């Protein structure tokens, strides 16, 4: 074998080994997961050690703590049928395809081409313009005849394969894949955030429904009592024991209570419509299931909230902010790699002939191969600015992550405070209702025996009705505060990590007509 050929091959092998060695490195900073600074425990728990919330492990299925099977069923059905959640799942599908596109840059690009062309070279006109054609005609008629055949239109048939492979010497492709992985994680955490919000919204709407039914029942009870008071007053008026003014006051009290009832009936229907939409159904589809009144679920005695240090792992919005920080860090490496030369291996092989039947003959083949290098020499500072922009975006993403952690801590602290104070309000209002119920009973008995005025009984009845409504509203608000606390803690997505991508074809004609795979 030729020595020069051996030397050329060995030099090419050395270059390939060196290229592969260089491809193992990646420019730009390596991502390190941030360690947020969080307190040892929540401030509200420190200031009130006897409060109901407990710093223990949170339950991923927190809604089961209400011990309401119907609530459990509604949340499970909402997870299966909610349209907003399905949109979030489709965004995960899109991010997966973006990741596949980024990974595709690791492999060579191969294209095939088949062509058949009819060409007129225009050689005769070129020869005539220079006077050569006439000279050949005069000197050598045989040569002129041969040139004449060459100046006629010809058919050219060609089939070829083109291949190119950009060597990832500086890790640009790896950083792009890393960024795409982070984007996929962003989509997943966005879906988890939608899931947590959906669970909380279903629970909140369901509790509002039961709360509106509770207040309606409380109002109806007070209306019944007011009707009894009106009947007693009318009886006394007919017997000359009470003036007409007492009858009108009793009727006004009754009408005032009745006037409050429609707003809660409206809340009941709105809550049922809201639950239907959350489950991906038309409004009114759940009326038969939810119309019957049920008591408000009893709140758990202890509420596990965990530790602030684990909040960043539970909250999907914090995890999403971390994924954005990861993506921004990887993009720095992509921008830095653009400052370095790009080296590609290119090649072409094919067959070409004016006779299609002769394409299978080896003499019709052609080929070319070899490396190519592209060096950025001058681009007006765009590449350097791209690096500075990527670093600024990474710094912004780091600040956004820190802000998201602080907001998460604030949400939990505010929810703890609201839940604690509303629980105290419920306890106080329950005692108030008990005392006012005794006062009303005494006032009613005294009035019926003529020992006290009608205004005393009417005022006691009015105060009792207001206290009962306030107690019911406070109990509903306390339940909603507990849901807000669970949402602020970020749990509820851990058990639903096996994402099932829906069939695109069921979402309408816009999803059809996909291009063939490349």
Confidence of residue 207 (pLDDT cuts 50, 70, 90): very high
Query: How much is the pLDDT for 1?
Result: 43
Q: From 158, 85, 152, select the one nearest 352 (Cα to Cα).
A: 158
Q: What is the pLDDT of residues 78-108, one digit of tens each?
A: 988 888 888 877 777 787 777 777 777 778 8
Computed over every residue of the chain, the mean pLDDT equals: 80
> For the chain, what is the radius of gyration of the CA atoms?
40
How far is C-alpha 464 from the geometric centre of its chain's CA atoms? 47
pLDDT of 505 > 50? The answer is: no
Q: How far apart are CA 151 and CA 145, in angstroms?
A: 10
C-beta atoms surrounding 180 within 10 Å: 21
Better-scored residue on pLDDT, 140 or 376: 376
Query: pLDDT > 90: what percent of the chain?
Result: 15
Q: Give the three-class secondary structure for 123.
A: helix
Cα diameter, the chain: 149
Whether residue 75 has pLDDT greater than 80:
yes
Q: How confident is the model at residue 34 (pLDDT cuts 50, 70, 90)?
A: confident
Please report which confidence band the pLDDT of residue 402 belongs to, taking 50, 70 and 90 as the band edges: very high
For residue 499, what pLDDT is reported? 54
Backbone angles phi and psi of 235, in degrees to 5: -65, -45
Poorest-pLDDT segment among 393-397, 455-459, 474-478: 455-459
Token pair of 92, please?
Answer: 């995960």
> Which domains are seen in the chain, by residue range?
23-106+170-339+382-507 (1.20.1600.10), 116-167+341-375 (2.20.200)
What average pLDDT does the segment 208-223 reach?
Answer: 87
Across 208-212, 246-250, 495-499, least confident range? 495-499
Instruction: Name the token pair of 171.
Output: 């890790």
Residue-level pLDDT at 143: 61
Q: Which of 15-19, 129-133, 136-140, 373-377 has the lowest mean pLDDT?
A: 15-19
Share of the chain above pLDDT 70, in %: 81
Q: Is the pLDDT of residue 461 over 80?
A: no
The predicted-structure confidence for 119-133, as pLDDT tens digits, reads as follows: 776 666 666 676 666
């Amino acid at each position: 074998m030729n020595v020069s050929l051996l030397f050329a091959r060995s030099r090419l092998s050395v270059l390939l080994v060196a290229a592969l060695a260089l491809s193992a490195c990646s420019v730009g900073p390596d991502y390190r997961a941030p360690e947020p600074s969080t307190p040892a425990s929540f401030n509200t728990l420190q200031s009130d050690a006897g409060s109901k919330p407990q710093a223990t492990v949170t339950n991923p299925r927190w809604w089961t703590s209400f011990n309401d099977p119907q609530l459990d069923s509604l949340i499970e059905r909402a997870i299966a049928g909610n349209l907003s959640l399905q949109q979030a799942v489709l965004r995960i599908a899109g991010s997966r395809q973006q990741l596949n596109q980024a990974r595709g840059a690791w492999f060579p690009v191969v294209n095939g081409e088949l062509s058949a062309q009819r060409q007129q070279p225009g050689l005769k006109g070129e020869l005539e313009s220079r006077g050569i054609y006439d000279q050949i005609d005069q000197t050598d008629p045989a040569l002129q005849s041969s040139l004449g055949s060459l100046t006629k239109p010809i058919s050219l048939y060609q089939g070829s394969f083109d291949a190119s492979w950009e060597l990832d010497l500086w890790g640009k492709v790896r950083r792009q894949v890393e960024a795409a992985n982070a984007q996929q994680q962003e989509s997943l955490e966005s879906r988890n955030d939608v899931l947590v919000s959906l669970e909380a919204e279903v629970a909140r709407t369901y509790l509002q429904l039961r709360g509106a039914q509770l207040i309606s029942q409380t109002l109806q009870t007070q209306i019944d009592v007011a009707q009894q008071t009106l009947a007693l007053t009318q009886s006394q008026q007919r017997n000359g024991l009470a003036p007409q003014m007492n009858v009108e006051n009793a009727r006004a009290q009754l009408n005032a209570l009745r006037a409050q009832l429609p707003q809660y009936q409206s809340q009941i229907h709105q809550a049922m419509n809201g639950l239907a939409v959350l489950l991906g159904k038309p409004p009114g589809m759940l009326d038969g299931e939810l119309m019957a009144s049920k008591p408000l679920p009893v709140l758990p005695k202890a509420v596990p909230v965990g530790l602030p240090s684990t909040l960043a792992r539970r909250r999907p919005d914090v995890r999403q902010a971390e994924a954005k920080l990861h993506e921004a860090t990887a993009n720095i490496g992509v921008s830095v790699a653009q400052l370095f030369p790009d080296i590609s291996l290119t090649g072409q092989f094919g067959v070409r002939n004016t006779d299609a039947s002769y394409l299978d003959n080896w003499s019709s083949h052609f080929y070319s191969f070899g490396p190519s290098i592209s060096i950025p020499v001058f681009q007006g500072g765009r590449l350097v600015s791209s690096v500075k922009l990527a670093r600024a975006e990474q710094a912004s993403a780091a600040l956004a992550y820190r802000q998201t952690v602080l907001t998460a801590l604030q949400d939990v602290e505010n929810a703890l405070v609201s839940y604690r104070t509303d629980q105290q309000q419920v306890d106080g209002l329950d005692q108030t209702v008990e005392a006012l119920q005794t006062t009303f009973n005494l006032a009613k008995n005294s009035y019926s025996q003529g020992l006290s005025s009608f205004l005393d009984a009417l005022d006691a009845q009015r105060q009792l009705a207001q206290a009962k409504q306030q107690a019911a509203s406070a109990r509903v608000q306390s339940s909603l505060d507990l849901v807000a606390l669970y949402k602020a803690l970020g749990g509820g997505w851990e058990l639903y990590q096996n994402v099932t991508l829906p069939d695109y074809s069921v979402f309408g004609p816009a999803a059809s007509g996909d291009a063939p795979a490349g």
